[in-house]
Amino acid sequence: MAYLFLEDGSIYSGEFFGAMREVVGEVVFNTGMTGYQELLSDPSYHGQIVVMTYPLIGNYGANELDNESDGIQVRGFIVRENISKPCNWKMDVSIDKHLKNADIPAISSVDTRAITRKLREHGTMRGIITNNPDDAAMGKIKAYQVIEPVKKVTCKEKYRIEGSGYKVAVLDYGIKHGILDSLKLRDCDLTVYPSYTSAEEILADNPDGVFLSNGPGDPKDNPEVIEEIKKLIDATPVFGICLGFQLIALAMGADTFKLRYGHRGCNHPVKDIEQNRTYITSQNHGYAVLPESLPDTVKVTHLNWNDQTLEGIALTNRPTYGVQFHPEGRPGPQDTAYLFDRFIDIMKKTQEGDK
């Protein structure tokens, strides 16, 4: 028997699969019907135990091609039903084996609807996957905290992905492979830097633009990074996604806040204000930017059509913009991939303006 034990004392029982061990983390839910392998390997989930709202998980197994990083990033996984006999032409292993190989514990046969309702009503909570939900387990929950998660998921040294197009400096706060692939598809010449790299070192390589990636945690926990972004915005075009978007807003003097239960899934409607068109987007974040905190030099470009939270901004006096959602859409729709094309156009216009 396995249990999910939450910090408010709630206990949900099920069965172990994956690794049979104890683990503590922040418990969140994801509303996607597919894309569980991409989710498991997304560095933005560092420190979290993920509950899937869709009941059937594992029906197409797992493979070596669909990972969004070098390995599984979640601390634990909670599903209603673990499909033990998956079937797909490119699968290598079952989801159970995939989790076992990475030593990640999971629970099946759980009332995931009840957990989701709890988190929606009371907000995300810390919790523990355990076989013994006692006072000692509660002590571990209360003591748990994630410290400097970006530094734990960023690359350790810079590296290059060659291309014949525009030179793009990529700040890795926990970047997904899908984002790099989207930039490579546009033939960008990429240099990927660790999150703590100085603006001076980046600009010394003379990039045509800077990309700020997704990543885990509270954006306010990165004050040194924010100071470097201010320098980059003053010097070159900048495009940010997810955490990168939030860091741009903070660099411009705006404020952020923690959402009650976040936006996680590949079915979130977002309206592009300028196009007057709504897209279905892939999202994974627990924080949002306060619209009323934006300075006059920043305009709103996208809004979440479920709760009206801020999903995109652009600077009116600099070639800089960002979005909260994931236009690379892995998993999820790729309807907003035009935002990568916009980045190319901005770098092109900036270069032409310099001539």
Active site residues: 242, 326, 328
- By the 8 A CB rule, do 110 and 1 touch? no
User: Which secondary-structure segment (H or E) carries 45?
Assistant: none
Tokens of 204: 């010394």
DSSP string, 239-265: EEETHHHHHHHHHTT--EEEEEEEEEE
- By the 8 A CB rule, do 295 and 255 touch? no
Order of strands across the sheet that contains 320-323:
159-161, 189-194, 167-172, 209-212, 238-241, 320-323, 310-315, 298-304, 256-272, 277-289
- By the 8 A CB rule, do 49 and 25 touch? yes
| Other beta carbons less than 10 A from residue 63's beta carbon | 15
Distance (Å, rounded) from C-alpha 322 to C-alpha 325?
9
Check the CA dihedral 94-182-75-15 and report its sign: negative
User: How many whole angstroms from its chain centre is CA 351?
Assistant: 31
